[in-house]
Amino acid sequence: MLGIIFNRNLQVGLVLVIVMSPTLRSDLNASEKDEVVTFADDIKPILQKYCLKCHGNDDQNADLNLQNYATLLQGGSAGAVVKAGQSGTSVLMQAITNEDDAARMPPESPRLPEEVITLIGKWIDTGLRETSSSKALLAKSTLTFVPGTSANAKPDGPPAMPVDLPEVEVAPTSRNMAILGLAASPWAPLAAASGYKQIRLFNTDTEEEIGHLLFEPGVPYVLKFSQNGAILMAAGGQPGHSGSVVLYDVKTGKVVGRFGDELDTVLAADISPDQKLVAFGGPGRIAKAYSTESGEEVYQIERHTDWVTSIAFSPDGTQIATGDRAGNLYLSSADSGGILLSLDSHKGSVRGLSWRSDSKVVASAGDDGRLIWWNAETGFVAMQSTNGHSPPRPEGFSGKLQSGVLSVQFRKDGGLISSGRDNLVKAWKTSSNQTNSLILEQGIPIRAIVDNSDKKIIIGDTFGNVRFWSHH
Amino acid sequence: MNRSMLCFLLLLIISADLLSQQKQLSFANDVMPVFFRAGCNQGTCHGSSRGKDGFVLSLFGFDKQGDYFRLTEEIVGRRINMAVPEESLLLLKATGAVAHTGGQRFKKDSSYYKTLLTWIEQGAKNDKDQIAVPVDITIDPPQMQFDGIEKSAPTKVIARYSDGSLRDVTNLSLFFSNNNNTASISNDGLVSSHAKGDTYVFARFDRFTVGSEVIVLPQDAEYTWLGMDPVNYIDELVFDRLEQLQLNPSQLSNDSEFIRRVYLDLTGAPPSVEQYKQFIANDSPNKRAVLIDELLASEDFTDLWTGLWAESVRLMGGGYTPVATDLKAAESYYQWMHDQVEANRPVNEFVYEQVTASGSNLTDGPTNLYTMLVHSVRFEPKSFAADFSQLFLGVQIQCAECHNHPFDRWTMDDYYGFVSFFTGITRKAGAEPREFYIYNKRNAPPVRHLVDGREMPATVIGGESPIKAGLDSRIALAEWLTAPDNTLFSRNYTNRVWAHFFHRGLVEPVDDMRVSNPPTNGPLLDALSRNFVKNGFDLRALIRDICNSRTYQLSATPNAGNEADDRQFSRSRLRRLRSDVLLDSIIKATEWDRTFRDFPKGTKAIEFYPRTPGDTAGPLWRDDFLKLFGRSSRNTICACETKSEATLSQTLHMAVGNNVQQAVLSGLIPRLMQKKNSPEEIVEELFICCLSRSPTGKELATMKELIGEDHDQKEPYEDILWALINSTEFMTNH
């Protein structure tokens, strides 16, 4: 079932078409077939055709022999060329997809056909099977998840819903403000979306806009509900001028706290599960944590080398994840801000962070096109999709495609929602790459989240539309 | 153009401007020019490859799609605010309403602000695929003259678009002057005169640069032309220019000045005593022309010109076989060049054969263009293409690898299309380790464009469409390169030849020809180039015209008006000798039997090139004297590798260094003394050997005092010879 809401302010000429793909897009179908890719059947013929002349039994440039499964795994003079489950960081994959013509393998040849590259990538990601009877070399996924063991229990009593919100006068705009921030209450059928100097509230059951809250600092860039759903945090400001974080009481709509006096908009923020800390950052390159009780700064995380673009507390309240525009991503102690782990893989801006409810996995969305599930205990990549939001590559084109992943959010069942610059919103299953997807014909889905029922996906786009997609 | 036509044109421009107020503004044609004009996308600001303060624009706007993405979508809602357009950070920063490192770029009431705001209000839309693009710009007037200083006149810049429309882009252009001391140009295109002289002012818009020549003359100055009659087209054009600039040429050089100059320039050493005396004694009226022909036919000329060619293609021989520049390869290339110069092979054919050469580097000399320009194990099409262009066209196309050439008309498309000529060049291992077969592999994939990854098939620089691929794309390249109508080629070469004789190109530096570096005398370069082509690319014919001109034969002594002139050739320029010519001059004057490393006895410095048992990559001289006196290290193709600046170590070396010591103590003085010559005769000979003139009475008297009564002592003569070699007169051509 698909729910569509057309915003009332929508202007003529900007009518948006939203299309639910009947089942799945055909190109996704191809790569999602459950066929097993193996060295013997699929990969060896490719290697034979393109690689073995220089990297075979007869000749081993760079000490690399790809002719046999064993020697392939062994790698060359620079070490292993394939890492099970990690095509994105495998040297083999990097060598055949390098955009520098002079550095790409095979040398002095056009790029290998896309289907060949896809097949090799799939072989690596599915665990480097030698034959159809051999086991995948993939370490057992750390993504196993049992819903219900999470720390965040439902609060006692009825969950907070706004009652008798004060009538507010909303500043007129010539167009809708793009939806930059979007959040849903974990317990109530309530969603909040950013507008110009305001926050728009929606009932996710009726899919109707039910009220507005004024956001005095300017444009809200980030919206989040506290874990118990009682507090709505909004962070933002005026670009190049000022920024701060505001806390609202969800029931009354009243401002209960305001933090930060920044020189530019706040681009990333979160409120800790116990509501004692508010952490935020932006173009100042520093993530700051404030005590909500005293209003004082508690600590700073200063390791970032570029704008802080994403912040998320772990649901158990022990860790804080912070990401920046250069792709740096750190896990720090939520109490002290001391850095625990550096999660080093993104090559572009970290656009979104989301913790799984058991606090063992954190997912990151990158403008480099990568969606990564991190093991928060070890700091290693547990799973990743390097082309989760790649638009189809036009024939004969090998330049950079805008393939960024813009948002990511875990569902209560351990599945995941992501949105990207390919205009797709994807729903990922708990532990495999299988997805369902929805394409927006116009407008980029900046944020995609899931409502309290865990079934309805809410999407905010560049044209200021909020859409609902029922999906399970 | 008559008046009504002009009015019509003006109307077109005005109405086009009015229309643009109502119609949908274009990102490329309306918004990007504002970034260009306001300086947003220049190299020190957001146009830097890393951007500035988190915001990146492409340098001077070469990547319009990328700029559109970064502006509108990279961080949605920040730089462009569609809900409240005037709160877009773009506008707030540009007008200084919020803190901005670059300060206020324009005011809120400016047309620039209005353009950006309107575009955002209209939806900040990207251009549809098919929009008219600028195809060229003109500046009006193209030439201006001021009678007096501190006077001003406006200029106007008109852009022509691919749909034929015209637009006044004066307020979207950037302006600069090549010499602000002579004339400056304001942001609005207003030119002001400041001092007597000539220069160019330029306007830049989109990827185009266009110049207007400015001549500033003193107000109400008395001027009469006092120069001699021209003898050929060179004189006519130089004298025209001098008259226009109210200058007078110096006197004609005397015979001893002339013979020294022409010997140094055509044979690489001063005349011998016999050669000198014979010429001075000759009283035929056309003896200069006869001497020029004689020297052009000499073996020394062939050696000199071969040496210059060898230096320009970075010819070196090595022992490290993988780079393909083996000693034997260098030798065969050198010998081939020598044969061509000796036979006066037309320059177009000479270059054509190298460009299209295939075969063994050891036996097919010209193939070594593809080994010597590169000097690396792997043939690199990009650096080869850059060197090729710089050498044969004087164009530094490599600027367009990462962005459109900022001060010329070349684009990234030109660059990558040109590189594709060389992507198939292969050096295949031959029969022995030193040998490589050079050939162009058919159907080699072209390079891809940096910005969008498009394949860029081989296209000549400035070409509209790719060449038709034949068996070897280099044939099409060579045909285009050496075609009579390719003035890039003929202007480049004639300018380099001119620079050899005047120590300054009409375009300087000689390997940086671009719109914003125009020749000091455009009609002259055109005429030289035209005549060169007309005479079948005959090098000696070109040189004959140059050397016979009055212009070449002028004295170096300035007159009352031309002291300051150093670019219009109103007098001969004092120039320091090239290191190898200096060394050959010392050798010839002192009869010194100096040898060169790894070369047989009797080799001249001009014939010497580095030979090493090792690798030829990196700077290489293999001779300390030549290194010290600024010989090209052959490390790069740049003409600037050959240096003519004086240094303290040079002075010290001339005074006490072993080269000059050995030279002074070698054969000359014993021979002169043995002939039982009188002191006067010996001094006379020494002066002629070194300076190509007799000593003055005063000089002679001083020398005799030094020699004293005892004529049999060697030392005083050696001191004299040492002093002569150390004189500025010896070390310069004048």
Q: Looking at per-residue confidence, does B322 or B495 come out higher? A: B495
Please give the single-letter amino acid code of residue B664. Answer: V
The whole-angstrom distance between residue B633's C-alpha and the CA centroid of its chain comes to 18
User: Which of B53, B84, B452 should we substitute to test contact with A (largest number of A Cβ atoms within 10 Å)?
Assistant: B84
Q: CA B234 to CA B523: how far, in whole Å?
A: 10
**Burial (0-12, 13-18, 19+ Cβ within 10 Å), A139:** exposed
Claim to verify: residue A337 and residue A202 sit in the same structural domain:
yes
Q: Where are the beta strands (DSSP E) in B435-493?
A: 436-440, 447-448, 455-456
Residue among B365, B379, B375, B469 nearest B422 (CA): B379
Angle between helices B473-481 and B347-355 (to 10 degrees): 160
Residue ranges of the alpha helices (H) in A51-138? 69-74, 91-97, 114-125
Contact between A151 and A180 under an 8 Å Cβ cutoff? The reply is no
Claim to verify: residue A94 and residue A215 sit in the same structural domain:
no
Contact between B634 and B309 under an 8 Å Cβ cutoff? The reply is no
- Judged against a pLDDT cut of 60, whether residue B371 lies above it is answered with yes
Contact between B415 and B400 under an 8 Å Cβ cutoff? The reply is yes
Mean local confidence (pLDDT), B330-338: 98
Q: CA A367 to CA A350: how far, in whole Å?
A: 6
Residue A448 lies in a domain: yes
Claim to verify: residue A116 and residue A187 sit in the same structural domain:
no
CB contact under 8 A, A180 and B89: no
Q: CA A215 to CA B517: how far, in whole Å?
A: 57
Residue among A338, A180, A186 nearest A273 (CA): A186
Local confidence pLDDT in tens for the 472 residues of chain A: 333 333 333 333 333 333 333 333 333 333 444 578 899 889 998 998 888 888 988 888 888 999 889 899 888 888 889 888 777 778 898 889 887 777 888 887 788 888 888 889 888 878 888 888 887 776 544 455 554 433 356 777 788 899 888 888 888 898 999 999 999 999 999 999 999 999 999 999 999 999 999 999 999 999 999 998 999 999 999 999 999 999 999 999 999 999 999 999 999 999 999 999 999 999 999 999 999 988 899 999 999 999 999 999 999 999 999 999 999 999 999 999 999 999 988 989 999 999 999 999 999 999 988 999 999 999 988 888 887 787 776 665 556 677 899 999 999 888 999 999 999 999 988 665 667 788 888 889 999 999 999 999 999 999 999 999 986 5
* ipTM of this complex: 0.76
Q: Indicate the length of chain A as a whole number.
A: 472
Percent of chain B with pLDDT over 90: 84
Q: Which residues of B touch A400 (CB under 8 A)?
A: 453
Residue ranges of the alpha helices (H) in B634-678? 648-656, 658-664, 668-674
Please give the single-letter amino acid code of residue A39. Answer: F
Q: Is B431 helix (H, G, I), strand (E, B) or coil?
A: coil
Residue A23 lies in a domain: no
Residue B129: what pLDDT?
73
Mean local confidence (pLDDT), B414-428: 95
- Listed by start position, the domains of chain B span 19-121, 134-217, 234-251+484-573, 379-481, 661-733
Q: Say if B281 is an interface residue toward chain A (CB within 8 Å).
A: no
Claim to verify: residue A408 and residue A315 sit in the same structural domain:
yes
CB contact under 8 A, A109 and B85: no
Contact between B521 and B506 under an 8 Å Cβ cutoff? The reply is yes
C-alpha dihedral, B721 to B724 to B730 to B734, nearest 10°: -140
Q: Is B2 helix (H, G, I), strand (E, B) or coil?
A: coil
Q: CA A414 to CA B633: how far, in whole Å?
A: 66
Q: CA B94 to CA B113: how far, in whole Å?
A: 8
Q: Which two tokens stand for residue B196?
A: 């007597």
pTM of the predicted model as reported, rounded to 2 decimal places: 0.79
> Strands A416-420 and A405-410: what pairing?
antiparallel
Contact between B186 and B217 under an 8 Å Cβ cutoff? The reply is no
Residue B55: what pLDDT?
95
Claim to verify: residue A118 and residue A191 sit in the same structural domain:
no
Which member of B77, B83, B453 has the closest CB to residue A397? B453
Q: CA A466 to CA A201: how far, in whole Å?
A: 11
Which member of B81, B85, B447 has the closest CB to residue A101? B447
Claim to verify: residue A212 and residue A69 sit in the same structural domain:
no
Please give the single-letter amino acid code of residue B631. Answer: R
Q: CA B307 to CA B606: how far, in whole Å?
A: 6
Contact between A343 and A327 under an 8 Å Cβ cutoff? The reply is no
Answer with the one of A110, A125, A140 that is the final residue of a domain: A125
Q: CA A127 to CA A85: how far, in whole Å?
A: 5
The Cα of B92 is separated from the nearest Cα of chain A by a number of Å equal to 8
Residue A403: what pLDDT?
84
Contact between B570 and B247 under an 8 Å Cβ cutoff? The reply is yes
- Judged against a pLDDT cut of 80, whether residue B14 lies above it is answered with no
Buried/exposed code over B633-662 (b: 16+ C-beta within 10 A; e: otherwise): bbbebebebbeeeeeeebeebbeebebbee
Q: CA B551 to CA B567: how far, in whole Å?
A: 12
Does residue B96 come out as left (phi exceeding 0), alpha (psi in the -120 to 50 range) or beta?
A: left
Q: In chain B, which among 110-139 make CB contacts under 8 A with chain A? A: 121, 123
The answer, yes or no, to whether the previous bond of A106 is cis (omega within 30 of 0) is: yes
**CA distance from start to end of chain A:** 10
Q: Say if B98 is an interface residue toward chain A (CB within 8 Å).
A: yes
Residue A292 lies in a domain: yes
Mean local confidence (pLDDT), B184-197: 95
Q: CA B49 to CA B727: how far, in whole Å?
A: 51
CB contact under 8 A, B453 and A177: no
Which member of A180, A240, A241 has the closest CB to residue B76? A180
Which member of B79, B82, B453 has the closest CB to residue A175? B82
| Average pLDDT taken over every residue of chain B | 93
- Judged against a pLDDT cut of 60, whether residue B4 lies above it is answered with no
Structural domain span for residue A340? 182-470
Q: Which residues of B touch A464 (CB under 8 A)?
A: 83
Q: Say if B471 is an interface residue toward chain A (CB within 8 Å).
A: no
Tracing tokens 């040189």 back to the chain, one arrives at B543
Residue B118: what pLDDT?
97
Could you give the number of structural domains in chain A? 2
Q: CA A35 to CA B630: how far, in whole Å?
A: 69
- Judged against a pLDDT cut of 50, whether residue B573 lies above it is answered with yes
CA atoms within 13 A on the CB side of A444: 22
Residue A234 lies in a domain: yes
Percent of chain B with pLDDT over 70: 97
The Cα of A70 is separated from the nearest Cα of chain B by a number of Å equal to 32
CB contact under 8 A, B98 and A174: no
A245-249, B63-67, B404-408, B560-564: least confidently modelled range: B404-408
Contact between A193 and A178 under an 8 Å Cβ cutoff? The reply is no
Contact between B724 and B686 under an 8 Å Cβ cutoff? The reply is yes
Residue A157 lies in a domain: no
Residue A146: what pLDDT?
54
Residue A166: what pLDDT?
83
Q: Which residues face A342 on adjacent strands? A: A330
Residue A21 lies in a domain: no
pLDDT category of residue B518 using cuts at 50, 70 and 90: very high
Residue ranges of the alpha helices (H) in B225-298? 233-244, 255-267, 273-281, 287-296
Residue A9: what pLDDT?
39
Which member of B83, B89, B123 has the closest CB to residue A239? B89
Q: Is the C-alpha dihedral spanning B45, B49, B54, B56 positive or negative? A: positive
Contact between A234 and A245 under an 8 Å Cβ cutoff? The reply is yes
Q: Which residues of A touch B380 (CB under 8 A)?
A: 102
Q: CA B409 to CA B381: how far, in whole Å?
A: 22
Residue A118: what pLDDT?
86
Rg over alpha carbons for chain A, rounded to the nearest Å, is: 23
Residue A26 lies in a domain: no
DSSP run (H or E) holding A193: strand A190-195
CB contact under 8 A, B98 and A446: no
Answer with the one of A81, A110, A125 that is the final residue of a domain: A125
Q: In chain B, which among 387-446 make CB contacts under 8 A with chain A? A: 423, 444-445
Q: What is the largest CA-CA distance in chain A?
A: 80
Q: Is the C-alpha dihedral spanning B216, B219, B220, B221 positive or negative? A: negative
Q: Looking at per-residue confidence, does A27 or B604 come out higher? A: B604
Q: What's the fold here for domain B134-217?
A: Immunoglobulin-like (2.60.40)
Please write the tens of the pLDDT for every residue from B437-454: 999 998 889 999 988 888
Q: Say if A176 is an interface residue toward chain B (CB within 8 Å).
A: yes
Q: Is the C-alpha dihedral spanning B349, B355, B357, B363 positive or negative? A: positive
Q: How far is CA B377 from CA B322, B374, B427, in A?
A: 6, 9, 10
Claim to verify: residue A308 and residue A388 sit in the same structural domain:
yes
Please give the single-letter amino acid code of residue B297. Answer: A
Claim to verify: residue A205 and residue A117 sit in the same structural domain:
no
> Strands A287-291 and A297-301: what pairing?
antiparallel
Q: Indicate the length of chain B as a whole number.
A: 734
Q: CA A297 to CA A50: how far, in whole Å?
A: 59
Angle between helices B539-548 and B522-534 (to 10 degrees): 140
Angle between helices B715-725 and B579-590 (to 10 degrees): 160
- Judged against a pLDDT cut of 70, whether residue B254 lies above it is answered with yes
CATH number, domain with residue A384: 2.130.10.10
Residue A384 lies in a domain: yes
